Structure 1
Amino acid sequence: MRNDDWSRTIRYEIIPTPSVEERVVESVPLSVPVTITASPTKGLGPTLALAERLAGHGYRVVPHVSARLVVDDVHLKEIVERLVRAGVDDVFVPAGDADPPAGRYHCALQLLAELTALGRPFRHVGITGYPQSHPSIDDDIAVQAMWDKRTHATYIVSNLCFDAAVLTAWVRRVRRRGVDLPIHVGLAGPVARTKLLSMAGKIGVAESARFLGRHLSWFARIATTYSPDTLLAKASDLSTPDLSVAGLHVYTFNQLAEAERWRTGR
């Protein structure tokens, strides 16, 4: 992997499957933060429980608190208290894919504003950025939403992108719009197609169908031409200090041993 300062800071994203805790403990050093996704069908329970267990192992965990999975302000306060009690100081707040929403929060901004009203209980709060078009949100709306959310957040994580030119142009566009939050560039780790398909099968039939249906191009790219090193080499302009790229957010698809071998160059 590259040795640019911005690419030395890495965090791994995982999906809360039954075996992933063991994989994390076996393969991931405590120095690497671990972010935990939330399932639109299983709710926040598995995410919060895994966050508590991994925090107990000594990891810095970043649970996804998907707005559309939170029922109301009482539920949110319960979530906050539970995470603070576990020592969590960083959360990632997407809107989430639950349709219909579990309760009163339909978008990330609503929940972010609520967290601010609660006195900003987390030191770090992440929001999503979309270098490539969101499947259901126009680009201009996505960029405007990022501007609206900036006062409630401390960093941005970019969604998966396999085009270095598109990714770099998006970062520059964000900066031109006056959004100066640090950006963690999202990229897929080194994942074999067969293992990716196996992982998709473990997250449930309905979710697997949704995942595969929305991201067929991801599978095609990962299975054929994609390499994280190639993408990073082509995106070397991101190391420019004025772009404030803080590090890499690696979508591991739970292939943690492979991600760690890539990170360390073994």
Structure 2
Amino acid sequence: MNDANRAALAAALARPAWQATRYELLPIAGMQEAAGALPEGAVVTVTCSPRHGLERTLEATEWLAGAGFRVVPHLAARLVRDRAHLERLLGRLAVVGVDDAFVVGGDAERPVGAYPHGRALLEAMAGLTQRPARLGVPAYPEGHHRIGAADLQHDLEAKAALADYAVTQLCFEARPLQAWRERQRRLGLSLPVHAGIPGVMEPRRLLAIALRLGLGPSVRSLRRRSGWVARLLRPADYRPEALVEELRPALGDLAGGFVGLHVYTFNRVEPTRRWLEGLQDRVPIRASADEPDAQAATPAGEPLA
């Protein structure tokens, strides 16, 4: 991690934890309207799918950057053809002032070119002058349906030398996140980590997403808790307040906790933002690295890795 990244992280920790929240958007119909509900200057990540491809992600990135947001496009390695294609992609990002990207393998069945996984793309970007100042990578506290635990760990450790931060897959419970983060701390992972949580959404849609993604302990917990599932089927929106409350002690702890929240909004931005802003008043969170109770820290999903 270079001095510029350390300075950026220090600045992030000096702000209220809620200001470090990242909002993930899908580049589909209605995205621009959803973006209208974001806080001014928010950090917005833009996903990339085999169906819509990198071009859709880049077009959305350019629009969001023009609207004044700090944009983090997802770059899916399996959709990048070769070095020339990669240089063109990075050139477009540089033109609109984007200096942060999230590198994933991607869900495409077969790579279209020379980069079968995220690590290969990171290695290629390391030698380019147009490499963004910050690169993020995915982490999987609840495992991945196509990749074994040992391979996931090895991959994350290899990426740590090439990236600047990690973002966890969508999780519905704090326990898997906390256990994974403690294990990574013991193993010496130096990357700052953003905790991936769901936004506010319709309960039935949330349950469908959870079951489709197969999110390990979280989904097993949903199946065990018949009362919880019954609440999911009520008309009122789901809000992950219990999850955030359990994560509260670890938020803002760069060394062994989570530098901030990464909210998977599925483009339901307006209710998610209202909930987060209301939660700030109800759930106290360590706000600044300069406050007496803040722990000192020294920097040391989604698609396939």
Tell me the TM-score normalized by structure 2.
Answer: 0.75
1:24 to 11, 35, 38: 35
Aligned residue in 2 for 1:123: 133
Aligned residue in 2 for 1:264: 277
| 2-structure distance, mates of 1:189, 1:29 | 15
| 2-structure distance, mates of 1:74, 1:256 | 36
User: What SS does structure 2 have at the residue aligned with 1:64?
Assistant: strand
| 1-structure distance, mates of 2:204, 2:247 | 27
2:200 is the counterpart of 1:190 = yes
User: What SS does structure 2 have at the residue aligned with 1:96?
Assistant: coil
Unaligned runs of 5+ in 2: 1-14, 224-228, 280-305
Per-residue CA deviations over 1:212-237 (Å, capped at 9, x if unaligned) read: 74348499869359642101112234
User: What SS does structure 2 have at the residue aligned with 1:12?
Assistant: strand
Equivalent pairs counted in the alignment come to 251
Shift of 1:238: 1.7
Shift of 1:190: 1.1
What is the correspondence of 1:34-183 to structure 2 with a 5 Å cutoff?
34-119=44-129, 121-183=131-193
| 2-structure distance, mates of 1:34, 1:240 | 19
Aligned residue in 2 for 1:232: 244
Structure 1 vs Structure 2 CA RMSD: 2.7
Structure 1 counterpart of 2:260, one-letter code: G
| 2-structure distance, mates of 1:55, 1:7 | 21
User: What SS does structure 1 have at the residue aligned with 2:259?
Assistant: strand
Tell me the TM-score normalized by structure 1.
Answer: 0.86
Distance 1:240 1:14, change over 3 A: closer
Shift of 1:261: 0.6
Judge conservation of contact 1:196–1:253 (CA < 8 Å) in 2: no
Shift of 1:58: 0.8
Aligned residue in 2 for 1:11: 22
Aligned residue in 2 for 1:203: none
Aligned residue in 1 for 2:261: 248
Judge conservation of contact 1:164–1:234 (CA < 8 Å) in 2: yes
Per-residue CA deviations over 1:12-62 (Å, capped at 9, x if unaligned) read: 00100121112202x012232110000112211110000001101111100
Judge conservation of contact 1:67–1:105 (CA < 8 Å) in 2: yes
Distance 1:87 1:231, change over 3 A: same
Shift of 1:146: 0.7
Identity %: 37
Judge conservation of contact 2:252–2:259 (CA < 8 Å) in 1: no
Distance 1:179 1:224, change over 3 A: farther
Tell me whether 5-14 or 123-132 shows the greater mean CA deviation. 5-14
The structure number with the bigger radius of gyration is 2
Structure 2 counterpart of 1:249, one-letter code: H
Unaligned runs of 5+ in 1: 201-207
| 1-structure distance, mates of 2:139, 2:104 | 10
Distance 1:18 1:212, change over 3 A: farther
Judge conservation of contact 1:143–1:174 (CA < 8 Å) in 2: no
| 2-structure distance, mates of 1:35, 1:235 | 22
